[in-house]
Amino acid sequence: MTLLQRIAPSDALRRSHTLIDPQTLDGAAEIVDDVRRGGEAALRRVSERLGDLRTDDAGSALVLDPAAMRRLAASVASDDRALLERTAERIRAFAQRQREALTSIETTVPGGRAGHLIAPMEAAGCYAPGGRYPLPSSVLMTAVTARVAGVRTVVVASPRPAPITAAAAMVAGADLMLTIGGAQAVAAMAYGVSVPRCDIIVGPGNRWVTAAKKIVQGDAAIDMLAGPSELLVLADDTAEASWIAADLLAQAEHDTDAVPTLVTTSARLADDVESELERQLASLPTGATARAALANGCCVVCESLEQAIGVSDRIAPEHLQIMTRDARGVLARLRHFGAAFVGSRSAEIFGDYGVGPNHVLPTSGTSRFSAGLSVLHFLRVRTWLEMDEGPSLDGVVRDAARLARLEGLEAHARSAEKRLAP
């Protein structure tokens, strides 16, 4: 039995993964409503029931301020703290270049001037998973980006935060840290329970976090609804099988729901990757998790590079590694992906750990209509209009009034006509 199920290109086009199951959505809705209605008392009750908080004094703090974060992070080695700071700086530098590309504008319009102003949101909630492993990288990816955008108040939420997570929050410049996770943490940030109400909630999480983000959307902005993590490797016969296997296993060890996929034009390469997966799994400490995740993925052998590109675009993966001849040329032909890693040396792992671009990305095919986290998520574009006095305005007035009457809105027409030059 193969580790990666070998399927035909036509079958790959029909594969889909459920983002949120109805049972989780219903359960999350109950938690969110309980916290929204019951405030901090409900938040504590739910968090204690789900194991995020203990009833003893040592584990009862819902929120950590910077001083408390500093105490929790005191045990972090100086070398690890320096690593966090280097990573944060790389993320910050890339985000700053993104921010510089987004500018306010002013232009002339008939009868006056118009433009837009770009302003940050006031408060952001940044979620970082903390279940099987602490994920300080997610703290940096979300909170640093929010700060670069100009967000005034940054709240980090992570269940039972490890010292390294608290250290990452400090390096990122977070104002507060919620020590709980799941749907209850999302609800707390969305409705201002124990922390300031957040205008946007971002960051990866499990199905309960995703369900809660869907529920609160409208009361707060969200970055995206993300499902299990995905990697698609698009490879031809020039790719190295051992590298591909290592990259697929790096994705697979995230958790048993991860989705590793190989799309290739070479049947020989597919066979070699299968052999390498078995060989590398034998010594992988997280092998049990990775082996289970491989069952979610597949291997698609295509007749041509064009067909392989079509399969990739239909899947629209979160992470896309391009390991082909002329990888940059192939990139130009691809339409749908969360983040692309171009060339054999550009392993997805470098995106995970802060070379620059953000690692919070759309999954489950949603890269067809959404994008990875960036400073743009934390910014609002606000338009303005300033009209002149005098005859230059008359043409616009008459057009507006006529259009209003076509829609049956007489008061609109009269409002415009008040501005006609005497």
At residue 358, what are phi and psi to the nearest 5 degrees?
A: -75, 145
Which pLDDT score, from 0 to 100, does residue 19 have?
76
**What is the predicted pLDDT for the residue at 59?**
56
Strand bridging mode 112-120 / 123-127: unpaired
pLDDT digits (tens, 9 = 90+) for 237-290: 999 999 999 999 999 998 899 999 999 999 999 999 999 999 999 999 999 999
* pLDDT bucket at 305, cuts 50 / 70 / 90: very high
pLDDT for residue 267: 97
CATH superfamily ID and name for 228-371: Nitrogenase molybdenum iron protein domain (3.40.50.1980)
With 0-12 CB in 10 A as exposed, 13-18 as middle and 19+ as buried, what is 29?
Answer: middle
Within 169-287, strands assigned E span 176-178, 200-202, 221-222, 230-235, 259-264
Q: Which residues are catalytic?
A: 318-319
If DSSP codes are grouped into helix, strand and coil, which group holds residue 259?
strand
DSSP-derived secondary structure for 348-368: HHHHHTTSSS------TTGGG
Per-residue pLDDT at 390 exceeds 60:
yes
Least reliable range by pLDDT among 128-142, 330-344, 371-385, 392-406: 128-142
Tell whether the model's pLDDT for residue 15 goes beyond 80: no
pLDDT band at 1 (very low <50, low <70, confident <90, very high): confident
The pLDDT value given to residue 177: 98
pLDDT of residue 17: 62
pLDDT in tens, 156-168: 999 999 999 999 9
Whether the predicted pLDDT of 38 surpasses 90:
yes
**CATH number listed for the domain at residues 31-222:** 3.40.50.1980
Nearest to 359 by CA among 90, 151, 112: 90
Assessment of whether the complete model's pTM goes beyond 0.85: yes
What is the residue-averaged pLDDT of the chain?
A: 94
**In this structure, what token pair is assigned to residue 126?**
């940044």
**Parallel, antiparallel or unpaired: strands 319-323 and 339-342:** parallel
Q: What is the pLDDT of residue 227?
A: 85
Burial 188-205 (b: 16+ CB within 10 A, else e): bbbbebbbbbbbbbbbbb
**pLDDT tops 90 at residue 73:** yes
Pairing mode, if any, of strands 200-202 and 123-127?
parallel
80, burial (CB in 10 Å: exposed 0-12, middle 13-18, buried 19+): middle
- 3-class secondary structure, 100: helix
The residue whose two tokens read 């433009």 is 115
Structure tokens belonging to residue 348: 């997805």
For the cut 90, the answer to whether the pLDDT of residue 235 exceeds it is yes
Percent of the chain's residues with pLDDT above 70: 97
CB 367 within 8 A of CB 316: yes
